């Protein structure tokens, strides 16, 4: 897996596997912090390709608000 982007301020990272699939990891929580990692679906990948880190910032915010929405995309 090759790391493409790390944003320490927003606490996320984007990585790409050998097949070109993109994986997004976001640190969520308050006192009990945990990392949520999932594979970007086609729509998320398309939006990332169009908007870059601007979209990743939005996506990280969405994950922090409701990480359970992304459960079906986990590895």
Which is higher by pLDDT, 66 or 46?
A: 46
> Which run of H or E residues covers position 49?
helix 42-51
**What angle in degrees, to the nearest 10, is found between the helix axes of 53-65 and 42-51?**
140
Which pLDDT does position 71 carry in this prediction?
A: 76
For 19-60, write each residue's pLDDT tens digit.
999 999 999 977 878 889 999 999 999 999 999 999 999 999
| 3-state secondary structure (DSSP) of residue 45 | helix
- CA distances to 16, 18, 49, 53, 55 from 30, rounded to whole Å, are 28, 33, 30, 24, 23
Lookup result for tokens 């990392």: 35
């Amino acid at each position: 897996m090759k790391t493409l982007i790390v944003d320490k301020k927003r606490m996320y990272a984007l990585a790409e596997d050998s097949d070109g699939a993109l994986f997004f990891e976001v640190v969520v929580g308050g006192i009990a912090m945990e990392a949520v990692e999932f594979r970007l679906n086609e729509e998320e990948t398309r939006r990332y390709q169009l908007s870059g880190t601007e979209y990743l910032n939005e996506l990280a915010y969405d994950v922090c608000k409701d990480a359970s929405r992304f459960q079906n995309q986990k590895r």
